[in-house]
Chains A and B, each alone.
Chain A
Amino acid sequence: MADMFAFAETRDGALRSVAFETVTAARQAADAAGGGEVHALLAGGPGVGARAAELGRYGADVVVVVEHAGLACYNAEALAATCAARIGGEQYRAAFFAASAEGRDLAPRVAGALDRSMLSDVTAFEMRGDAVVASHPVYVGKAVATLRLTGSPAMVSLRPGAITAVESPREARTEPMAPALDPGAARVTVTEMLDRGGAKLDLGEAPVVVSGGRGLRAAENFALVEELAAAFGNAAVGATRAVTDDGWRPATDQIGQTGRVVSPMLYVAVGISGAVQHLAGMRTSRTIVAINKDKDAPIFKLADYGIVGDLFEIVPRLTDAVRKAKAGG
């Protein structure tokens, strides 16, 4: 028997999908360890406690509710202190966070505050005796390490989407908790939230590249590609040589033999047939998605996931779906 801690991430007062994944992971860990309790920490502005029941649905026995006007926005120092105060001591065998943008910031602070080592960006894990054994992609995703973490509580952050949220409904008890540090006393404060769009990632550095080819038919249709890239949030826009030659895009956007060579985690080829010149610039991408009307296009030989059809119908749908997935629900 061992109790588990899960941090339930929220944004704008709503739970993010990763919250259900961390609670699911904690539930599975508790069950594997002989059936302890799962305690989820739910923090946010006033009223966020109303979300507690949703966490119960995924297996939280206790929801620790931290409501404070100063937590309506992410407050790293206040949340880290509060999590550390709750997790510290002997009660929990492991504490789960999401390796989301927020979780990657929060979890190592908590670990540092508690002087605990942590497993980051885990794609699978297993409780094994006094250890947690977990998979973690290393070397920019080109290898997977199996890591072993000893000691309690084991700090773990989970790669979003790696653990599928599974319902395990129960009536969660709620426990109110005051922030362990007054959010107003934090040294680092968020002054503004911005819609993305201004920041342009470099093609060579972006984790996601969305590229367009002649299949887009006209320069103005590149808006479709840009919208899809914006939906990913961490994407840069590329193009084929044909497109840059025609002046639809600047030459610096060209991916291929004579342009940039990229190797992102995800490459989305929109309306690109896959001339060998182009393939030379992107074939080492980790995952390749192709959308093209010609099912015999060479790009489909390389693509992990191909969709045959009219890109003008498919891409807007995909943009919508990505936006929803990214928003966490």
Chain B
Amino acid sequence: MATGTVAPQFTGVDFLDFDSLLGEEERAVRDTVRAWVDEHLMPVIGQAYIDGKFPRQLIPGMAELGLLGANLPEEYGCAGLNNVAYGLIMQELERGDSGIRSFASVQGALVMYPIYAFGSDEQKQKWLPLLASGQEIGCFGLTEPDFGSNPGGMITTARETADGWVLNGTKMWITNGSQATVSIIWAKTGDIAETKSIRGFIVPTDTKGYSARDQKGKLSLRASDTSEIHLQDVHLPKDAVLPRSGGIKSPLMCLTQARYGIAWGAIGAAMACYDEALRYAGNRVMFDRPIAQTQIQQVRLVDMLTEITKAQFMTLQLGRLKDAGTMTPEQVSICKRNNVDMATDCAREARRLLGANGILIEYHSMRHMANLESVYTYEGTHDMHSLIVGQAITGLAAF
């Protein structure tokens, strides 16, 4: 890594020549997304956050670049990237904003992935190209008001009728919910106590009985839509069900995909905060010297750099395991848990280093800090991931 003066643009964080472990395409993908974020996202993200609006004008550009479902095969209009390149996309998007990364995570890992993994050929041919090109926007309905960490307890039902299905229930904390044109809804098709009967359904959001409204008053992920979905006697045709979905394992497999992306994304948010803190410390003069020339701020910066560096190598290995097909959900948990916690710390420390300026929207650390509280909580809370890893090493479930 080059030392001393900082480049005018974000150039990543690479203290231990992490780049040398990446392939040429992986670097190229990362660089292209980085440039896109600088050109298109950074100029608008502050205002979008203040306005509490997802910058949807960015969707066509994201789709054109190929950011949606980028690790799915080319035959469906996707880029066919490996999982490390996919992870680097998430890192770069979240360097911009967790809400934008969330949008891409949901579209790719929680909507396109279940259709790809559990859908019929017909469903795949129909939906994946539309979702990859951003013509359709998806959301993922699993969490319910009373069932967050315990999705198996859901009470949304899908009753089979002579000519199809009828869905009833409520979903909450649904990213992209109010702008989605299609929703993957998880519901029980059998006994309410039976998690084996959980199946996924493709629900166009203009279906009668389907409604979504924004959850207001968020202090985090403000540039992302979060919604509540109501399903009241939503009639669906027979082929709305994802034929290969079955049991709570199916939505959890989707979440493993999404968490994998979050593990990378959190590194991006941490990098953004570190980079901002480093620049600011070099520019900000107090008591006749840049604050970067003070011991306390150097310790702060080095702590951040160290944690980011550790997370990079850990997560790269996770990606290599995923590409080899041997990655386990517990391995994803340990990385998601570590990286989001690490990023949350970096964001807070960066915000503090920025002093009073750090509370302004023109700086990014406080926005990341607030966002990361959601990321810490969603897709399996920090604590739940502790218990998942705890169960893996002790053989004893503590939840």
Contact = CB atoms under 8 A, between A and B. Distances in A.
A269 interface: no
A257 B43 contact: no
Given A258-B43, A258-B361, A281-B8, 20 more contacts: A241-B362, A251-B43, A256-B362, A257-B362, A258-B46, A258-B362, A259-B43, A261-B8, A261-B9, A262-B8, A263-B8, A276-B283, A276-B357, A277-B362, A279-B283, A280-B279, A280-B280, A284-B7, A284-B8, A301-B285
Contacts of A256: 362
A39 interface: no
A252 B361 CA distance: 17
A283 interface: yes
B363 interface: yes
Contacts of A263: 8
A301 B285 CA distance: 11
Q: Which of A258, A281, A284 has the most CB of B within 10 A?
A: A258
Contacts of A257: 362-363
B159 interface: no
A168 B9 CA distance: 49
Given A257-B362, A276-B283, A276-B284, A252 B43 contact: yes
Interface in A218-249: 241
Interface residues of A, number: 18
Nearest to A261: B8
Nearest to B46: A258
Interface string B34-49: 0000000011001000
Nearest to A277: B362
Contact of A283 (B9, B283, B357): B283
Nearest to A260: B43
A262 B8 CA distance: 7
Contacts of B362: 241, 256-258, 277
Interface in A250-301: 251-252, 256-259, 261-263, 276-277, 279-281, 283-284, 301
A263 B46 CA distance: 23
Interface of A: 241, 251-252, 256-259, 261-263, 276-277, 279-281, 283-284, 301
Nearest to A301: B285
Contacts of B9: 261
B34 to A, nearest CB: 14
12 contacts: A251-B43, A252-B43, A257-B362, A257-B363, A258-B46, A258-B361, A261-B8, A263-B8, A276-B357, A277-B362, A280-B279, A280-B280
B367 to A, nearest CB: 11
Interface in B331-363: 357, 361-363
Nearest to A256: B362
A262 B38 CA distance: 13
Nearest to A284: B8
Contacts of B8: 261-263, 281, 284
A221 B167 CA distance: 63
A251 B285 CA distance: 28
Contacts of A301: 285
A263 B5 CA distance: 13
A329 B284 CA distance: 42
Q: Which of B42, B280, B284, B362 has the most CB of A within 10 A?
A: B362
Contacts of A262: 8
Contacts of A259: 43
A279 B5 CA distance: 14
A277 B285 CA distance: 13
A60 B349 CA distance: 67
A255 to B, nearest CB: 11
Nearest to B282: A283
A276 B358 CA distance: 12
Contacts of B42: 258
A280 B43 contact: no
A281 B7 CA distance: 11
Contacts of A281: 8
Given A241-B362, A261-B9, A280 B46 contact: no
Contacts of A241: 362
A261 B280 CA distance: 14
Contacts of A261: 8-9
Contacts of B357: 276-277
Q: Which of A256, A277, A280 has the most CB of B within 10 A?
A: A280
Contacts of B280: 276, 280
A5 B43 CA distance: 52
Interface in B38-92: 42-43, 46
A252 to B, nearest CB: 7
Nearest to A262: B8
A167 B42 CA distance: 54
A76 B186 CA distance: 72
Interface string B271-308: 00000000110011100000000000000000000000
Nearest to A258: B362
Q: Which of A257, A261, A277, A279 has the most CB of B within 10 A?
A: A257
B369 to A, nearest CB: 17
Contacts of A251: 43
